[in-house]
Amino acid sequence: MRTTFGIAAVAAVFLALALAPFHLGTYGVGLLIGLTGYVTLASAWALFSGPTRFVSLATVAFFGIGAYTTAVLYEVLPPVLVLAVAGLIGFIVALVVGLSTLRLAGVYFVIFTFGLAELVRQLVTWYEVNVTGTLGRYLFVDFGPEVVYWQLLALCAVTIGLSFLIQRSRLGLALKMIGDDEVVAEHCGLPTARVKLALFAVSSVIITLVGAIQAPRWTYIEPTIVFNPTISFLTLIMALLGGAGRLWGPVVGAVPLFLLFEWLSANFPNHYSIILGLLFMAIVFVLPRGVLEFLEGLVRRQRSGRRETPFKGEVAS
Amino acid sequence: MTLTTALIAGLVLGGTYALVAMGLTLQYGIARIMNLAYGDMIITAAFAAFVLQGALAVNPILGLALVVPGGFVFAYSVYRLILAPLVRRAPDRGALEVDSILTTFGLLFVVQGVLLVIFGSNYTSYSFLNVPVDVLGAPIAANRLIALVLALVIGLSLYLLLTRTRWGTALRAVAVSPQSAGLVGIDVNRAAAFAFALGGGLAAAGGVVISMYQTFTATGGVVFTMKALIVVIMGGVGNLLGALIAGLLLGVVETLVSTYADPGLTLAATYTIFLVVLLWRPQGLFGRAMR
Nearest CA of chain B to the CA of A141: how many Å?
A: 31
Note the pLDDT of residue B287.
Answer: 59
Chain A residues 95-124 with a CB less than 8 Å from chain B: 100-101, 104-108, 110-112, 114-115, 118-119, 122-123
Which residues on chain A are in Cβ contact (under 8 Å) with B114? 274
- Name which of A106, A108, A279 is nearest B98 (Cβ-Cβ): A106
pLDDT in tens, B65-94: 888 999 999 999 999 888 888 888 877 776
CATH of domain A2-308: 1.10.3470
Chain B residues 31-60 with a CB less than 8 Å from chain A: 34, 36
- Per-residue pLDDT band for B201 (boundaries 50, 70, 90) equals very high
Q: pLDDT averaged over consecutive 10-residue blocks of chain A (317 residues)? A: 78 80 81 90 89 85 91 83 90 88 73 81 83 78 82 90 86 76 76 83 93 86 83 85 81 87 83 85 79 76 58 41
pLDDT in tens, B206-260: 998 888 888 888 888 888 888 888 888 888 877 778 888 888 888 888 888 888 8
CA A162 vs. chain centroid, Å, equals 13
- Cα–Cα distance list, B272 to A54, A228, A272, B38, B183 (Å): 22, 21, 33, 22, 42
Which residues on chain A are in Cβ contact (under 8 Å) with B236? none
Phi-psi sector, B238: left (phi>0), alpha (psi -120 to 50), beta = left
- Name which of A105, A118, A277 is nearest B106 (Cβ-Cβ): A277
Complex ipTM value: 0.77
Q: Which CATH number fits domain B3-280: 3.40.50, 2.20.25, 1.10.3470, 1.10.287?
A: 1.10.3470
- Taking a C-beta distance cutoff of 8 angstroms, is the pair A68, A222 a contact? no
Where along chain B do its domains lie?
3-280
Where along chain A do its domains lie?
2-308
Please give the Cα distance from A48 to A56 (Å, whole number).
9
Strand, helix or coil at B216?
strand
Subunit contact A111:B229, Cβ cutoff 8 A = yes
Nearest CA of chain B to the CA of A277: how many Å?
A: 4
B290 pLDDT exceeds 70? no
> What is the crossing angle of helices A230-242 and A272-286, to 10°?
30
Query: What is the average pLDDT value for chain B, to the nearest integer?
Result: 82
Amino acid present at B50: F
Subunit contact B226:A100, Cβ cutoff 8 A = no
> What is the crossing angle of helices B93-119 and A106-127, to 10°?
40
pLDDT in tens, B115-154: 988 888 778 877 777 677 776 777 777 778 888 888 888 8
> What is the crossing angle of helices B240-260 and B221-235, to 10°?
120
Which residues on chain B are in Cβ contact (under 8 Å) with A271? 113, 117
- Name which of A114, A277, A288 is nearest B109 (Cβ-Cβ): A277
